[in-house]
Amino acid sequence: MTKEKQKILFEKYPSLFVDKDKSPSETCMCWGCECGDGWFDILDETCRKIIEIDKDKKFKFLQVKEKFGGLRLYGIGETDEISNILECAEIESFRTCEHCGSKENVTQRGESWIYTLCNNCFHRMGGNSTSTI
């Protein structure tokens, strides 16, 4: 995710990203949100829902990344309700282009590295009807 998009999340939800400035020996959040900008809205909505229910601010992210073509959200201080919110976000990422956020013609593509992309982003990245990137 671009620094600009990350900054929006970090400033809007500081309690969720409290570890962002810690060292790699303490947290994976030091690397920021390791996913494409297309999932920004999913993350923003997820954070909003967590803040809404986590009145004591016990939850914080340990890592936000892409893995196997989907969003992976790891944290500490989870409740069952927060776990459900995180799971819904991860599921939604498989229906959303990681690059542009489109929900049309989205599919997982790739072999050694799997991407969740719409047809337009797939072709912009050099894919064609016979390739899988």
Percentages helix, strand, coil for the chain (3-state, rounded to 5) are: 40, 20, 45
In whole angstroms, how far apart are CA 26 and each of 17, 19, 23?
13, 8, 5
| pLDDT of the chain, 133 residues: tens digit per residue | 999 999 999 999 999 999 999 999 999 999 999 999 999 999 999 999 999 999 999 999 999 999 999 999 999 999 999 999 999 999 999 999 999 999 999 999 887 889 999 999 998 887 765 444 4
pLDDT at 128: 62
Q: CB-based burial of residue 17 (10 Å sphere; 0-12 exposed, 13-18 middle, 19+ buried)? A: buried
pLDDT at 127: 73
What are the residue ranges spanned by the domains of the chain? 3-96
Q: If phi over 0 gives left and psi between -120 and 50 gives alpha, with beta otherwise, what is residue 42?
A: alpha
CA 133, CA 128: separation in Å to the nearest integer? 8
pTM of the model: 0.91
